Structure 1
Amino acid sequence: MTAAFIVLWAALVRWFAIPPYLLPGPERVFHAFVERWWFLLDHARITAVETVIGFICGVAGGVIFALLMTLSPLLRRVLLPPILVTQALPVFAIAPILVLWLGFGLASKVVMAMLVIFFSVTSTFYDGLRRTETGLLDLAGLYRVSKFQELLHFRIPAALPALSSGVRIAAVFAPIGAVIGEWVGAKGGLAFIMLQSNARMQADVMFAALILLAVMVLLLRAIVEGATRHLVHWQPED
């Protein structure tokens, strides 16, 4: 499939004689990789660090908020409105504010990645905790366990498949959050390269950075997919 796409891409560029500053051929992009591989990988490392830290913090925050809302109806009424507000606001509107408050460094990109994935983890895990099978809750009531024990031994194990779905979604969107943060203002990263290359009409370098970003998304998704399948080993495969 990948080989067919590359052949079609090269054929379209040659057939329509598209200028390289609009759409470079695959050979030009490959040449950009060879010439600037260290430069590209160094900036890819910056985006990867932002993505991984944002992903871990976003998943942890989503799990904690879902547990708090399950344990206390009062906390649910307090926490749910700000969670919904963060999703109602466009991420491009929040990104400049974060850069203004947190600067051009790592912090603003990590927070941006957290905000992008936070809701998917919170909502899926909270929904899984709320939809625990009635038979399991009846069994918990039969043993007269505390609410915390019910959560720990019955609700959380039953909600792990829902959490794994949310985490898989988060793995795809976390790099997007980091890139949006870099797009608004950054000292480095793949989006930084794209902006600089676009300004200099270096489409080959821009496409090389874009391909690296796609590879990063696929790699993170594959790692998370394997980890969640190991964690929720009883869940049937798709």
Structure 2
Amino acid sequence: MLPAPLRVLTVLVDRAGFLFGQAAITLTEIVLGLCLGTIFGVASGLAVGGSPRVGRVLMPLLVVSQTLPVFAIAPLLVLWFGFGLASKVVMATIIIYFPITSAFADGLRRTDAGLLDLAKLYRADPWQTLRLVRLPSALPGLVSGLRVAAVFAPIGAVVGEWVGASRGLGFVMLQANARMQTDMLFAALIVLAVTTLVLRLAVDAATRRLVFWVEDPA
């Protein structure tokens, strides 16, 4: 049932063009989902962390939404958005939305009280306090959320491809499993792992440039 490493390596070499072409499709879904999830997550984090009233209402709803298994909603997304790119992007967006929202909102809530008092002393209005004090203080939390999201986003894209797709690494895995082509299955898994690692390194590099004072993870 387990292919020999040499067989997997042979598939990786002989079918490299095909595998990396499918990886490019999956990576497109992942990156689009990561971008959308970040946009919605930051907006929701501002609402939750910026207003205690909104946070008390919205945060329990967000937590409850995470109790739904992704496999349960994936068929619905395929029905609503079709078998193309959109359903996979939405799935990746959903799976990373909560980590980014939670991390960013927590960063906003943990702004140093001394800095907030200093802003009041200088008579800063709420917008100035948010822009100059709270947002910079919350960026390390956002960076942590993005690093987690970079690892989880591929799960959403691949699950979407398993449910309904005609291309992508998830589709390749599903077809290889059905045909007992375990060498191709393991080769696709390796390419997915490498793609995820490259994405994580790219996110790390981007966040180090944007938020240079955040320490790198151990």
- Give the deviation of 1:39 after TM superposition: 1.5
8 Å contact from structure 2 (residues 100, 142) kept in 1: yes
1:82, 1:107 → 2: CA distance?
A: 24
1:116, 1:58 → 2: CA distance?
A: 8
Match of 1:97 in 2: 76
- Give the deviation of 1:85 after TM superposition: 2.7
Q: Is it true that 1:33 corresponds to 2:12 in the alignment?
A: yes
CA RMSD across the alignment: 1.3
The correspondence for 1:181, drawn from 151, 160, 168, is 160
- Give the deviation of 1:234 after TM superposition: 1.5
* 1:143-165: CA deviation from partner (whole Å, max 9, x where unpaired): 11111111111000011111111
What is the TM-score when the length of structure 1 is the normalising length? Answer: 0.87
8 Å contact from structure 2 (residues 161, 168) kept in 1: yes
What is the TM-score when the length of structure 2 is the normalising length? Answer: 0.95
Match of 1:204 in 2: 183
Q: Is it true that 1:114 corresponds to 2:93 in the alignment?
A: yes
- Give the deviation of 1:66 after TM superposition: 0.7
Work out the percentage of aligned pairs sharing the same amino acid: 59
Match of 2:112 in 1: 133
Give the match's secondary structure for 2:214: coil
The correspondence for 2:128, drawn from 149, 171, 182, is 149
Q: Tell me, which stretches of 5 or more residues in structure 1 are unaligned?
A: 1-21
Q: Tell me, which stretches of 5 or more residues in structure 2 are unaligned?
A: none
The correspondence for 2:147, drawn from 152, 168, 178, is 168
Give the match's secondary structure for 1:88: coil
1:98, 1:122 → 2: CA distance?
A: 21
Q: Is it true that 1:70 corresponds to 2:49 in the alignment?
A: yes
| Counterpart AA for 2:188 | A
8 Å contact from structure 2 (residues 49, 106) kept in 1: no
The correspondence for 1:233, drawn from 207, 212, 215, is 212
| Counterpart AA for 2:202 | I
Give the match's secondary structure for 2:165: coil
| Counterpart AA for 1:123 | S
8 Å contact from structure 1 (residues 71, 148) kept in 2: no
- Give the deviation of 1:123 after TM superposition: 0.3
| Counterpart AA for 1:65 | S
2:120, 2:108 → 1: CA distance?
A: 16
Residues paired across the two proteins, number = 217
